[in-house]
Structure 1
Amino acid sequence: MRTRPSAPVEEERPLEEKVPIPTPPSVRDVTPSLCLSLVEFKGTHNSAYHADMLRQFRAVDDSVTLRLNRAFAQSRDRGTSTPPSLLVQHTKSFSSSAATDLGRSTYSSVSEAMCASIWLDLVDLWTRREDTIKYCMDINVRQAQEAQKAEAPLKKEDMLDLDRAQAQKRATSMKEVPRSRGESQAEFMVRIAMLTKQARQFRNELMVESIVRRRSLDVFQSRCKMFQPDAQASEREWAYWKART
């Protein structure tokens, strides 16, 4: 599986003039402006024009698990899975003639082919969602770095949760903190607060994502008990299978 290309960094040019962060192949229909709009990203606005992206994205998991449950129920209803029937009066000298047939078995299973197909669908969904969130985190970091650029730039890992960025901003004279052309100090403070909120929101979304994956994985493994990912599966796929974040 391809990894996300690293973003080129140019220190002296304004953000809008820089080469944009490459969009990973798994991230579709997502733009930097969408990433930086929590209203659109989270769908907290009631307007029909704002896409509830993650909610819709995660709803696909439900449709996949519904396919699993439906296939499981059909298998049970057909009664074609082994063992073929439930028998009583089992003794050491058991024979079919001495047993009473209680009817069709309640044992059910989903076909190996369907399990494999559904697993690939889940991996694709999980990869796209996780990469989308991380891509938007990169966009947020890029914006925060530009907003907080001063004599001693912060490391990228510090920018993910902008607490230290806030502390350094307060310790830096206002002349050293760049603002957009025509932007007042009040507007600048609002922008910094929004970037901080976004950074924390994206981190929260990663935690939510791991919970959603765990729920879907539990359903999958309960319905496809004999399934195992291919031995040549990527490290990331195995991490999903073992519920590692």
Structure 2
Amino acid sequence: MSEEVDPDVCYNLTYFKDFMKGYRKIDDNIMLRMNTTNTHSVENCTQFFKELADAYSKREKIINHCLKILDQGLERKQKALDEDPYDSNLKNQMFVDESKRRMIYNEYTVEDIVRDRSLTVFKNKCRMFHLPQEFVDFINRKR
């Protein structure tokens, strides 16, 4: 990943959500951007599509990275809990981390919704542009 996400971002959901919000600005402003872009130009549509695809890829990498960080932390805590099964503090920490992991995993659903909305606008405005097959495969694959 070109921009490494600090593990603290993954463990603090407020930071994580703010981080993702920054990467979703292109989707949040898509109507304005499409209204100020010459959508009859395949070149302009191609350039904007590349920006969208890059944002999608970066966001997915961030989600994957944070899930990996949380999984590693949970594995370490599980090993420690195996050694001391009565450590209630550790059990509580694991419960909190598992909840964070579920919330970050739910970002995949948010991504699907955001992508669907943005791509609908994009396809309606850039009608001459055809999505590359590898991108279609990327958004349609199963996680």
TM-score exceeds 0.5: yes
Structure having the larger proportion of residues in helix: 2
Partner Cα separation in structure 1 for residue 13 and residue 87 of structure 2: 22
| Equivalent residues of 2:9, 2:16 under 8 A apart | yes
Q: CA RMSD in A?
A: 2.4
In structure 2, the partner of 1:31 is 6
**Counterparts of 1:65-214 in structure 2 under 5 Å?**
65-71=31-37, 109-149=39-79, 176-177=82-83, 185-214=87-116
User: CA offsets, 1:172-192, max 9 Å, x none?
Assistant: xx6x3459xxxx933212211
Residue 219, structure 1, aligned to residue 121, structure 2: yes
CA distance in 1, matches of 2:83, 2:96: 17
> Identity across aligned pairs (percent)?
30
Give the distance between the partners of 2:28 and 2:14, measured in 1 at CA: 24
Q: Which has the higher contact order (CA 8 A, sep 6+)?
A: 2
Q: Provide closer, same or farther for how the CA distance between residues 185 and 33 of structure 1 changes in structure 2, counting only shifts above 3 A.
A: same
In the TM superposition, residue 59 of structure 1 has moved relative to its aligned partner by: 2.1
Is the CA contact (8 Å cut-off) linking 2:26 and 2:52 kept in structure 1? Answer: no
In structure 1, the partner of 2:137 is: 239
Question: Rg: which structure is higher?
Answer: 1
For 2:140, the aligned partner's letter is: R
Counterpart amino acid of 2:60? E
Residues matched between the structures, number:
141
| Preserved CA contact (<8 Å) 1:64 1:118 | no
TM-score by length of structure 2 reads 0.85
1:57 is aligned to 23
- Partners of 2:27 and 2:108 lie apart in 1 by 16
Cα pair distance change 1:221/1:178, threshold 3 Å: farther
- On the 8 A contact 1:34/1:40 being kept in 2, the answer is yes
Q: Could you tell me how far apart the structure 1 residues matched to 2:119 and 2:131 are?
A: 13
TM-score (norm 1): 0.52
Query: Any stretches of 5+ residues in structure 1 without a counterpart?
Result: 1-23, 43-51, 73-108, 151-173
Instruction: Give the unaligned 5+ runs of structure 2.
Output: none
